[in-house]
């Protein structure tokens, strides 16, 4: 019925790859360097991402502590995503495409929950939405970051966790939710103990950011740490 209505393509049912395009997303933040900001909302095909030494950036990040940036993979079976995918495939010789912030928000506001890729794309959509809405609607971003830190379980989504924790903490702090910001730092410490290391674990610099903010919060909050 969805095929007949034009909401999905018949070929989508037989595509088992799970990922048909990638988008690189960064927060709209003054702390993001020019190089990383220039690649925000750029789309790539899996064949490009699979190449040796692939980077979504056109140069090297200019910050001592690397900027927050996430390469999100999408299947993209809903109408708006199919349009982006077709545009991307037609421009692959140019290295990819870049959409405006408004176009990316239109993408994540499309009917993705009603298509066959909803479960595959759900966490990716929340990650894109969270990063894209920080300036214009922090509450939307906060809710999406909360969803990510609560729901990430599969290996392919582990790369979302550290950026989500960091940005959630900073947004909560910025919007005056100090108690929840402190709780977020505690959850981060519990999820990424310093005695362990892994490919998706925070860097020493990222741990230091959380440690510094925790000290700042404890100094200003007459609240006990959550257990």
For 60-93, the DSSP string reads ---SSSPPP-EEEEE---SHHHHHHHHHHHHTGG
**pTM for the whole structure:** 0.88
Sheet hosting strand 97-98, strand order edge to edge: 70-74, 21-25, 42-44, 97-98
Helices 101-108 and 79-90 sit at what angle, rounded to 10 degrees?
A: 130
Domain residue limits, the chain: 1-117, 133-227
pLDDT (tens, 9 = 90+) of the chain, 227 residues, equals: 344 444 444 444 434 458 999 999 999 888 899 999 999 999 999 999 999 999 999 999 999 889 999 999 999 999 999 999 999 999 988 889 999 999 999 999 999 999 999 999 999 999 999 999 999 999 999 999 999 999 999 999 999 999 999 999 999 999 999 999 999 999 999 999 999 888 899 999 999 999 999 999 998 755 444 33
Which tokens is 4 given?
């007949």
């Amino acid at each position: 019925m969805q095929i007949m209505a034009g909401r999905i393509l018949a070929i989508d049912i037989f595509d088992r790859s799970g990922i048909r395009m990638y988008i690189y997303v960064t927060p709209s933040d003054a702390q993001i360097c020019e190089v990383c900001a220039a690649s925000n909302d750029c789309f790539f095909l899996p064949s490009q991402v699979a190449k040796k030494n692939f980077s979504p950036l056109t140069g090297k990040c200019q910050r001592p502590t690397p900027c927050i940036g996430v390469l999100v993979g999408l299947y993209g079976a809903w109408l708006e995503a199919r349009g982006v995918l077709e545009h991307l495939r037609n421009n692959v010789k140019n290295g990819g495409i870049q959409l405006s912030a408004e176009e990316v928000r239109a993408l994540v506001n499309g009917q993705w929950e009603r298509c066959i890729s909803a479960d595959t794309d759900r966490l990716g959509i929340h990650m894109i939405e969270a990063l894209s809405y920080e300036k214009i609607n922090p509450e939307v971003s906060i809710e999406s970051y909360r969803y990510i830190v609560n729901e990430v379980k599969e290996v392919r989504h582990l790369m979302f966790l550290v950026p989500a924790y960091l940005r959630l903490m900073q947004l909560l702090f910025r919007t005056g939710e100090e108690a929840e910001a402190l709780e977020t730092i505690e959850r981060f410490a519990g999820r990424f103990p310093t005695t362990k290391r892994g490919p998706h674990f925070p860097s020493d610099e990222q741990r230091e950011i959380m440690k510094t903010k925790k000290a700042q919060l404890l100094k200003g909050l007459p609240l006990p740490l959550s257990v």
